[in-house]
Each structure stands twice: as C-alpha cells, then as structure tokens.
C-alpha cells in the first residue's frame, strides 16, 4: 500500500519496545505516524525520545490511554491504518495486578475495535502473542494449535484476540491479528530474558540471576517482527483480513543454552544463580514455544532476515553503550 500524503497511520504502544521500532519503520516506508503515548505527568515519550529528529518530524505524538474510548477515537480519526500494540505485557506483574491487564488488553482492544468500526478505518492490525498457546502440545505451533492461557497476561491477550475475531465476524471490521513469538532487540525491557542477561553482563556482573533455565522459546529479532507487522498491515485485504498469523523463526533454544550463547558472544564466562522470586508457578510456566510461520510466509512472502546470533550482536552493542545501559536498572528484578 503506498503511503499517502494526507492520511497518517496510527500506532498504539508507540513509545514501547516493538512500537518504537515499528514507528521508525513506518516513517522509513514514507508514512506519517500518529503515535499514542500513554499519558504520564512527566511528559515522557518513552523510547520515541531517542529517535532521530528527522524521524520524529513525521511523527505526531498524542498522549492518551487505550482504556479511554474518547482518547482512542481521537487517535484513529482520519487514519488509513491502525497498528494496535498497546498492552500490559509482563507475566509476573499480571499475577499481581490482573484487573489492570483486563482493562488494558481486553477493554483497551474493545475501544480500538469500536473506533475502527465506527470510523470505517480500512485496516486494523491487532497484536496477539504466542503466550496464548501455552506449552506446545504439538510442534511447530501453527495457528490451529489450541489456545491454553496459563497466565492472566495470556488470558487477557486471548480475550482481545477473541474480540477482534468477533468484530470481524459480526461487523466486518477489517482486522488482521499478528501473533508474534518472543521478540528481542535494543530497547526491550529488562523484564525479558535476553536484556536481563545482556544487561547484567554489560553492568559488570559475572553471576547472572535468572528463573527457570529449562523452557524453550523461539526468538525473533525485533526488525523481523516489525517486518511482519508491515507485511500484514499492507498486504491486499483478501489475503489477510479476518485472519491470524504467527510470526517466528521456527527455531527453539532453551533459556540455559541462550545464556551460554550470550556468554560466548560477550566473550565472558557466566555463572547462573537461580532466584526463587523469578520462578513462576509450575502450571503457569510455558515450557515450550516454537513457531510455524508458514501461513504468514504463504500470504505475504515474509521471512525472518536475521539469525539469533546477528540479533544478539545488535542487542549486545546497544546495551554496551553506557548511555543506553544508564536508562535501565540492571541490579534489580524488573517485573
């Protein structure tokens, strides 16, 4: 879909990890972006504050909140596409504050669907997560795999997904759901495993504190996940609308092996110390995730362009920059 001079695209969660990379990619593709940043009294624009001025010239920041229908209505008015990424995403925090997950991930998504429906926006990309599958029952996981929500986070995301499906079925809302598997790269929060390990090493630690080392995950470099967003956001409607697409590499690695690989890339002998606080309730821990992205590849031609090692090298370079590391709290358990 060519960028038009008149209609911007809207992004929720724009100031976050994946959202800020998506904003950059949309601007690079010639779009103007209306970026929702969650209102805060510090006037902080999150990671958008670190983007170059020439990118931000094409970005209109709108402070708002997806829990507020009027706020969402204003954001999406007059846009040609909406990328809905805003969410509460930390699993451990979802044990503590589940109501806020339902309000943000379920009601927030409902507000986006309602606005897109009533304003007749031509394309909505809704963001799901591989966590909705729970521990793999068959591998690789295709979109036909059962949904098994093992945490309040996963349940709230699945609730948003089901609303998206229902709005397509009931009101013909042109929504496509992207279901990324674990994504990593520069700007990710230290609550996620890769930044936790790299950040602790970059801060001078040689004994890394972690939770369970056994689970396996399928890690995508953030630029590949962003390419998947653009692929489903710009593909002909007949190919993608009303459908759900996994994105991931098809390769799995255990957390333990990942730590060894990071140690090798950072040229450091690492020792791992298990931290009870980071161990999740047994039935809530998703033990295995590995992606079948065949449907996305067939519909859009998308394929990952970075190996795990290449992505890790970029992420290490980011965290080794003291300016970037200084934005994090490497010494605490980030939830």
Q: Which positions touch ligand NAD (CB under 6 A)?
A: 12-13, 15-19, 36, 38, 46, 65-67, 85-89, 104, 108, 127, 129, 157, 180, 182-183, 189
Residue 21 or 31: the one with the smaller Cβ distance to ligand NAD is 21
Residue 99 or 273: the one with the smaller Cβ distance to ligand NAD is 99
- Tell the smallest beta-carbon distance from residue 139 to ligand NAD (Å): 18
Residue 150 or 183: the one with the smaller Cβ distance to ligand NAD is 183
Question: Would residue 153 show up in a list of annotated catalytic residues for this protein?
Answer: yes
Query: In whole angstroms, how far apart are CA 236 and each of 133, 147, 226, 268, 300?
Result: 27, 27, 18, 47, 9
Cβ contacts of 164-170, under 8 Å, gap ≥ 24 = 164/109, 164/113, 164/124, 164/126, 165/244, 167/113, 167/117, 168/241, 168/242, 169/242
- Tell the smallest beta-carbon distance from residue 127 to ligand NAD (Å): 4
- Tell the smallest beta-carbon distance from residue 15 to ligand NAD (Å): 4
- Tell the smallest beta-carbon distance from residue 130 to ligand NAD (Å): 6
Structure tokens at 257: 């092996």
Query: In whole angstroms, how far apart are CA 183 and each of 141, 163, 225, 238, 329?
Result: 16, 24, 7, 27, 20
Residue 273 or 290: the one with the smaller Cβ distance to ligand NAD is 290
Residue 39 or 271: the one with the smaller Cβ distance to ligand NAD is 39
Identify the sign of the CA torsion 98, 104, 110, 111. Answer: positive
φ, ψ for residue 167, nearest 5 deg: -70, -30
Compute the distance between CA of residue 2 and CA of residue 6 in angstroms, rounded to an integer.
12
**CB burial string 24-38: b at 16+ within 10 A, e below:** bbbbeeebbbbbbbb
Residue 15 or 80: the one with the smaller Cβ distance to ligand NAD is 15
Catalytic residue among 153, 167, 221, 328: 153
> Rounded to a whole number, what is the distance in angstroms from the first to the last CA of the chain?
38
- Tell the smallest beta-carbon distance from residue 6 to ligand NAD (Å): 25
- Tell the smallest beta-carbon distance from residue 332 to ligand NAD (Å): 17
Compute the distance between CA of residue 166 and CA of residue 157 in angstroms, rounded to an integer.
14
**Catalytic residue ranges:** 153
């Amino acid at each position: 879909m060519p960028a038009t001079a008149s209609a911007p695209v809207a992004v929720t969660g724009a100031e976050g990890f994946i959202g800020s990379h998506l904003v950059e990619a949309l601007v690079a593709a010639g779009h103007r972006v209306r970026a929702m940043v969650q209102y805060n009294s510090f006037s902080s624009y999150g990671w958008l504050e670190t983007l170059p001025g020439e990118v931000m010239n094409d970005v209109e920041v709108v402070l708002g909140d997806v829990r507020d229908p009027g706020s969402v209505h204003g954001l999406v008015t007059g846009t040609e596409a909406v990328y809905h990424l805003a969410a509460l995403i930390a699993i451990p925090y979802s044990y503590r504050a589940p109501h806020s997950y339902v309000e943000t991930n379920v009601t927030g998504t409902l507000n986006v669907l309602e606005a897109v429906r009533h304003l007749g926006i031509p394309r909505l990309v809704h963001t799901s997560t591989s966590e909705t599958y729970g521990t793999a029952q068959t591998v690789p996981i295709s979109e036909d795999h059962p949904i098994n929500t093992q945490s309040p986070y996963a349940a709230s995301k699945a609730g948003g997904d089901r609303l998206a499906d229902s709005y397509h079925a009931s009101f013909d809302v042109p929504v496509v759901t992207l279901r990324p598997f674990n994504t990593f790269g520069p700007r990710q929060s230290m609550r996620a495993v890769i930044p936790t390990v790299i950040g602790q090493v970059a801060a001078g630690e040689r004994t890394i504190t972690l939770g369970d080392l056994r689970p396996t995950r399928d890690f995508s470099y953030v630029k590949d996940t962003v390419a998947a967003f653009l692929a489903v956001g710009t593909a002909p409607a007949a190919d993608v609308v009303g459908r759900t697409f996994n994105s991931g590499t098809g390769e799995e690695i255990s957390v333990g092996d990942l730590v060894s690989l990071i140690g090798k890339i950072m040229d450091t002998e690492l020792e791992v110390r298990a931290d009870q606080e980071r161990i999740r309730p047994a039935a809530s821990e998703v033990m295995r995730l590995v992606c079948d992205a065949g449907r996305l590849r067939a519909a859009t031609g998308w394929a990952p362009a970075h190996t795990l090692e290449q992505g890790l090298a970029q992420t290490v370079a980011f965290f080794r920059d003291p300016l970037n590391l200084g934005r994090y709290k490497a010494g605490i358990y980030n939830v």
